[in-house]
A and B are shown apart, each in its own frame.
Chain A
Amino acid sequence: MKKANLIIIIVIYIASIGLISFLGMEVSVLDPVIPVTEVQCINEEDNYTTIGELRGNMLITLTFTTAGNAADLSGTILQLYWRVYPDNASNSEVKFVYDTTNTNVEFVTDGDGRQTGTILFYAKTVIDVQIIATDGTKISTTVTIAVV
């Protein structure tokens, strides 16, 4: 075999490895961002609350007894439960948007200042709470809470 042919075959041999590595490799996205597609409030009826619907939103009705207390979580309080879809969303954190001028309502926050979904009621009131995903998609659901 002539040297030129041998060199060409060796070049093709090595180039094939490079080409397959470059063009033929399996594409795998490392740590992909999975956005939130839906937020649902999943509170259910119990002895203290009833679930209904108002203007297409979930309506949670509860009876006012005494003012809610943040120290021992006593009085009229409501714990909101929610679910973020898909379950493997990159950022499943939510925040609660409500009428902050309503002084009859207070949202409990943890040591880091994050809202836990626990609401204290100091008097009878009606309030709309919007549960919004914080991953930038602004996907949300609105819950109307009536304390009667």
Chain B
Amino acid sequence: MASTPFEYKKSLITKAKKNKQHRPINSAFIKNTKLLLRDTQGLTSLIYIVIGMPIAILLLNTIYDAIDTRLIGDQMAMMFNVLVILLLAMSTNIDIAHVFSQEGASAYLNKTIPQPYVSTLSTKLVLNGVAMSGSLAVAVSIFVQSAGYSSAVTVYMFLALECVYLSHLLMSAELDIMNPQNQQYATTGEHALNPNDVRSSVYAYIMSIFVAGGTFLLATDDNSTVWVKAFCVCLAFLALRVWLYVNKVSIYYKER
């Protein structure tokens, strides 16, 4: 017959793996990485943006370079570069706004790991954060090379944008922690109108516009120190978000 029965001719390749003992935090990281790798949609979206963002910035600056701009045009180019980089980077954080709820009924397992909640939950953010930070560094380098800024500006600009990105990452995670949608994901496996996703998107737009507009205004005032000032503000904001994240995890993940 043309078909092969799967019931009794199934190839059973089983390899016995030795059970290794990991540190709790490593174990949580490996588990969350595997979960991300099995989520085809989320992984594809992340890879597209990680690779696509530097290419998009390269293309954008190639077009800008072809325009004979004056000073205000150069400042606008910087503003739009920042805006596009942040919007693309933060768009990956929208998936973080349901990363804990996505586990549905098994989300409670996070509470069973005998470790501080913050470290366990944060392992879910690591892979996304590292991948996008690398992409962000490449995108910033491409822009700076095109604009002809100094290496010091490159570092400050990257650090400022990284702080904004990480702040939004933590904000998105906080949204899911404060308003979990486990029931919805446990029932249907998806949530088309997740309010946390919507809020994360809105925050992404607001923060991108605020940072891009702020750097534009600072650049019109004093172009030399704009990224130092921006970095200081963004670092302070990140410190605030880290403090709020740690506090909210400890409050909302307390067993009632």
The residues of A with any CB-CB pair to B shorter than 8 Å are: 1-2, 4-6, 8-9, 12-13, 16-17, 19-21, 23-28
CA separation between A26 and B77, bound complex, in Å? 13
Give the number of chain B interface residues (Cβ < 8 Å).
Answer: 29
Contact, CB under 8 Å: A12 / B87? yes
Contact, CB under 8 Å: A24 / B83? no
A17 to B: closest C-beta gap in Å: 6
CA separation between A52 and B9, bound complex, in Å? 123
Given A5-B201, A13-B56, does the pair A24, B84 have CB atoms closer than 8 Å? no
Residues on B with C-beta less than 8 A from A8 are 87, 205
CA separation between A12 and B205, bound complex, in Å? 11
Instruction: Name 4 extra pairs, CB < 8 A, besides A8-B87, A12-B84.
Output: A1-B48, A1-B94, A19-B80, A25-B68
Contact, CB under 8 Å: B73 / A23? yes
A interface: dominant SS = helix
Q: Which residue of A lies closest to B45 (CB)?
A: A1
Residues on A with C-beta less than 8 A from B190 are none
Does residue B60 face the partner (Cβ distance < 8 Å to A)? Answer: yes
Contact, CB under 8 Å: A25 / B60? no
Residues on B with C-beta less than 8 A from A25 are 67-70, 73
Given A5-B201, A9-B84, A16-B84, does the pair A24, B91 have CB atoms closer than 8 Å? no
Contact, CB under 8 Å: A1 / B56? no
Residues on A with C-beta less than 8 A from B84 are 9, 12-13, 16
Residues on A with C-beta less than 8 A from B75 are 24
A21 to B: closest C-beta gap in Å: 6
Partner of A9, one of B63, B64, B67, B88: B88
Does residue B123 face the partner (Cβ distance < 8 Å to A)? Answer: no
Given A13-B56, A13-B84, does the pair A24, B63 have CB atoms closer than 8 Å? no
How many A-B pairs fall under 8 Å by CB? 70
Contact, CB under 8 Å: A23 / B72? yes
Q: Which residue of A lies closest to B90 (CB)?
A: A5
CA separation between A19 and B49, bound complex, in Å? 25
Does residue B197 face the partner (Cβ distance < 8 Å to A)? Answer: yes
Q: Which residue of A lies closest to B68 (CB)?
A: A26
Contact, CB under 8 Å: B73 / A24? yes
Contact, CB under 8 Å: B76 / A24? yes
Contact, CB under 8 Å: B91 / A5? yes
Does residue B92 face the partner (Cβ distance < 8 Å to A)? Answer: yes
Residues of B40-95 at the interface with A, using a CB-CB cut-off of 8 Å, are: 45, 48-49, 56, 60, 63-64, 67-70, 72-77, 80, 83-84, 87-88, 91-92, 94
Contact, CB under 8 Å: B49 / A27? no
CA separation between A4 and B202, bound complex, in Å? 12
CA separation between A19 and B81, bound complex, in Å? 13
Residues of B137-168 at the interface with A, using a CB-CB cut-off of 8 Å, are: none
B244 to A: closest C-beta gap in Å: 24
Q: Which residue of B lies closest to A28 (CB)?
A: B68
CA separation between A27 and B71, bound complex, in Å? 11
B95 to A: closest C-beta gap in Å: 8
Contact, CB under 8 Å: A5 / B94? yes
Residues on A with C-beta less than 8 A from B88 are 9
Q: Which residue of A lies closest to B81 (CB)?
A: A16
Contact, CB under 8 Å: B87 / A9? yes
Contact, CB under 8 Å: B92 / A24? no
The 4 closest A-B pairs by CB, nearest first: A24-B73, A16-B80, A26-B68, A26-B70
